[in-house]
Chain A
Amino acid sequence: MFDDLNRLAGWTLQTLPRYEPVLISDMEGADCSFLLHHFISAYLKADRRIVLVSLSQTFPHYAVAGSKASSVNLNRARQSGNLKFIDILSKSPDEYLFGKDGHILAKNLYSDVQRCVEEQGKELEGGVVVIDDLTNLLCVGCPREDVARLIQYLTALCKRHHCCLVTVIHRDIDDDDISLFDSCRIFFSYEITLKGLKSGHSKDVHGHLDFLRKVESPHGRTMYEHAPLQHYRVTDRRLQLFAPGTSNAVL
């Protein structure tokens, strides 16, 4: 769990998002996948339920990352039922990846998640559904409109069951006129965007982190609250956030 991120967002273990969906995205060379481990370990430490849907990694990957970053034991959480893992990769390739009409992919995925969420019922309240990651659906041929529709219904499903939805979009991969990120962002209450440095790779500063919170006014207008722009550096165990220009390498 990354304390710096919690401080920036104003979250504690008791005040993690309950039904406000979180969209994590990256662009210009950054990779935001590590932030999913923050949410997985935070919700486990807060003793909440997790539904982890993976379209890109196997379970051991999350288990190793979780134990390194926050010393949480995902294997134990899975055995005790606190963590449900929907493994898309291990299903037969015919079912999800090849030979299927792209329109069916998103619908079947929604049905799987809906079944898992409804099985847990009230026990999932305050928990989180983590989807890693949406861009893979585009890569295997699912139309953008269907992925956006999937997100629409998943956010509604999670709000109905009082749990949070966290997902990832890699913006560099999408080259449509209307991007998947733009299609989906209206459904999310929080946006965390990672951006690489324009000057190139640096071992002391890995990029920019932008945190945005959306609140709807009583008259229906969305108000955007930006946290101050941060630079970040991520290691196996820690995410360091600091003001631009205040990296240890500079000072």
Chain B
Amino acid sequence: MLKRLVNDVTQCKLLIIEDSIEQHDNSLLYSCLKARCKEPNCQIEVFLFEHSAEEIEKTLQLKQRGVAHVNYHDFYSNAQSWILSQDPPDRNTHESLLHGIVDVENGTNRVVVADSLSAFGTNLNEYGHALFSLKCKRNVLQVILLIHRELTSDESMKCLKYLSQASIRPLINQPSFKPSVSSTSIRDLCQVEIKKDSGKVILQNELYTIKNDFEVDSRVWVPEDEDALPQNNHVDVNATAKHDVTFSLQLTEREKAQKEKLVLPYTKESTESEESSKIYYEADDGDDFDDEDPDEDLEI
């Protein structure tokens, strides 16, 4: 379901991608943006409040690859509209700019991508109105919005959930799953919610991977049964809580090799002799050494 959401612009009109300031993640937004660039006859309007256009271009290399139908609107670096706006409360010129860009009735289909809710206003009324009007426009194929859960009030979240047809939120702190992030891929869990036109709502946990050129693959994820017995009781003794100790409990490869090479003295002595071990006793002067068997009367 996630893979379809990322790759297919017709799945929903308003897609909300949620992340956390404790785990900031632009990967799904970038994947959606990359996928939208493949749409024919479609203008992509990217409103940026947390990244500069150069940073996005460095990561995605859209212009370099000849994607001409992407327009960056950099509100991260350009403070002019903020400085010049003197009306209290600060009237958000992005909203008028947004409508000015998107409201052009020349038949061009557009996809609007924003990395912050600020693209649509500074309060609930403003962005609720902006998002609703965008949804109603025929030439707007899709709006994709990244929001940070902790920076969005509960009221705003309710409004966004009501307006959106699909949302993706991270699934964190799952005891049976550990996300992995490397220079070539990301593997993590998310929860996907889709509202169908029929009124049906599908909520699904999915395991997704992002590889190579921001290609997303996903499948349904079911947590392991917590009541089931563990398959093995192996405890990773090398696991180190990095945050709690100031010394390393892990062995490097070199240290492991040296440990394997080490021959303990008693081990060496025992391998030299092929006979079973014997005990040699030499009695002292004070010992009363008796050759008789002390258990003779037990009749064993």
Identify the A interface with B (CB < 8 A).
Answer: 101, 103-104, 107, 110-111, 114, 145-146, 149, 152-153, 156-157, 159-160, 177-178, 182-183, 185-187, 214, 216-224, 226, 228-230, 243-244
In the bound complex, CA of A247 to CA of B79 (Å): 48
B88 CB contacts on chain A under 8 angstroms: 101, 103
CB-nearest residue of chain A relative to B90?
A103
Beta-carbon contacts under 8 Å, B283-299 to A: none
Given A145-B122, A220-B59, A226-B79 contact (CB < 8 Å): no
CB-nearest residue of chain B relative to A153?
B79
In the bound complex, CA of A103 to CA of B59 (Å): 34
In the bound complex, CA of A239 to CA of B296 (Å): 77
| B50 & A221 in contact (Cβ 8 Å cutoff) | no
In the bound complex, CA of A173 to CA of B153 (Å): 20
Given A156-B76, A243-B246, A222-B23 contact (CB < 8 Å): yes
Query: A107's contact among B83, B184, B243, B245, by CB below 8 Å, is which?
Result: B83
Q: Which of B25-33, B132-140, B269-277 contacts A (4 or more CB under 8 A)?
A: B25-33
CB-nearest residue of chain B relative to A159?
B52
CB-nearest residue of chain B relative to A154?
B79
Given A152-B76, A178-B151, A219-B210, A226-B26 contact (CB < 8 Å): no
16 A-B pairs within 8 Å (CB atoms) are namely: A103-B88, A110-B79, A153-B79, A156-B52, A156-B77, A178-B150, A178-B153, A214-B24, A219-B27, A219-B30, A219-B186, A220-B25, A220-B59, A221-B186, A222-B24, A230-B246
Q: A156-B52, A178-B151 are in contact. List 16 more A-B contacts (CB 8 A).
A: A101-B88, A103-B88, A103-B89, A114-B79, A160-B77, A177-B153, A182-B21, A186-B21, A216-B26, A217-B181, A218-B183, A220-B26, A221-B186, A222-B23, A224-B23, A244-B246
Q: How far is the CB of A95 from chain B (nearest CB, A)?
A: 16
In the complex, the 3 A-B pairs of residues with the closest C-beta atoms, listed nearest first? A220-B26, A243-B246, A222-B24
| A187 & B90 in contact (Cβ 8 Å cutoff) | no
In the bound complex, CA of A158 to CA of B192 (Å): 38
B72 CB contacts on chain A under 8 angstroms: none
Query: A149's contact among B26, B27, B82, B245, by CB below 8 Å, is which?
Result: B82
B151 CB contacts on chain A under 8 angstroms: 178, 182-183
In the bound complex, CA of A91 to CA of B89 (Å): 25
A216 CB contacts on chain B under 8 angstroms: 26
A243 CB contacts on chain B under 8 angstroms: 246
How many residues on B have C-beta within 8 angstroms of the other chain's C-beta atoms?
39
B110 contacts chain A at the CB level, 8 A cutoff: no
Given A152-B50, A186-B24, A221-B26, A229-B83 contact (CB < 8 Å): no
B24 CB contacts on chain A under 8 angstroms: 186, 214, 221-222
- Mask for B15-48, Cβ within 8 A of A = 1, else 0? 0000001011111011000000000000000000
- Mask for B48-74, Cβ within 8 A of A = 1, else 0? 011010000001000000000000000
| A218 & B59 in contact (Cβ 8 Å cutoff) | yes
- Residue picked from B79, B86, B184, most chain A C-beta under 10 Å: B79
Beta-carbon contacts under 8 Å, B206-250 to A: 210, 214, 242-246
CB-nearest residue of chain B relative to A114?
B79
| A228 & B76 in contact (Cβ 8 Å cutoff) | no
A214 CB contacts on chain B under 8 angstroms: 24
CB-nearest residue of chain B relative to A149?
B82
A186 CB contacts on chain B under 8 angstroms: 21, 24, 50, 148
| A228 & B246 in contact (Cβ 8 Å cutoff) | yes
In the bound complex, CA of A122 to CA of B163 (Å): 47
| A223 & B153 in contact (Cβ 8 Å cutoff) | no
A156 CB contacts on chain B under 8 angstroms: 52, 76-77, 79
- Mask for B97-115, Cβ within 8 A of A = 1, else 0? 0000000000000000000
CB-nearest residue of chain A relative to B29?
A220
B77 CB contacts on chain A under 8 angstroms: 153, 156-157, 160
